Amino acid sequence: MDLKRAVAGTVFLMIYGVATTAHAAPVLPAASTFTECVANGSVQDDAASCLLSSGNAFASGSVVTWPFVLLSASSVTSPGGSSGVLVNASYSFQVVGGNPGDIVPIMISANLSSSATSLDHAFAMAQTRVDTSAGSFTEIVCTNGSINPTCPTLNTTFSGTFAWSAMSGEAGDTIHLEIEAQSGDSGVFEGATASLDPFIFIDPNFANAANYSIIVSPGVGNGLPSSTVPVPEPGTMALSASGLIMLISRGSRARHSRSAALR
């Protein structure tokens, strides 16, 4: 009887224990996010968002990680001001399903946008880099690729998908995102914006695509944004920048007037 129970228990563990282990999703490392706003020398850092205005300069940046990933940055200045924004995020992903070690084609859908009012006094950049066992792939856009050796492209926007591959069950696959916007040191209103939203999925044309799925770091939503963040045309941005700076200036003058009246 004891032998029968032992055998039955072993069979139960072999069937249900292995099945449970096979379906248990690994826990990936936490995501890392960072935002930094600079306006006329003042600096504000935060993991999720920053918003800073100082005289004739304004900067804002944010990282959204749920239910989708979206980075955005905006810099506007009036004559004599300067501002800049840096936003970045990194998180892990992993292909699961099939047999460990399977080479699986993946797709990364992304909208990268950059816009600036001028070539010399405003700048914006967006880039995404995917690292897997197959190597690294980078997509980048910027507003001054013609004069910037660190941005080897003339593209200011990218909207589409690029193909790569990953190994099922492989730990260490990551995606790195970064955007930047800066403006100023000019005699006129300047502005720059940048945005980036990625989505990783199994190539649907892969014959065994249904056998695999992608998991990402806890708290990160691997989904498509409900709408793409629009990047204004340079002319529109200049008007928006001037209006924003005027509102900031009026608010500042009003506060000074109230303070003076109370003295």
Rounded-to-integer distance, Cα 261 and Cα 263, Å: 6
pLDDT at residue 13 greater than cutoff 50: no
Residue spans per domain, the chain: 29-250
Contact, 229 vs 60, CB < 8 A?
no
Rounded-to-integer distance, Cα 113 and Cα 232, Å: 10
pLDDT per residue over 206-251, tens digit each? Answer: 999 999 999 999 999 999 876 544 444 545 555 555 555 555 555 4
pLDDT per residue over 89-119, tens digit each? Answer: 999 999 999 999 999 999 999 999 999 999 9
pLDDT at residue 164 greater than cutoff 90: yes
Rounded-to-integer distance, Cα 34 and Cα 55, Å: 24
Of 22-26, 117-121, 145-149, 180-184, the range with the lowest mean pLDDT is 22-26
Q: Could you tell me which of 60, 23, 57 has the C-alpha nearest to residue 39?
A: 57
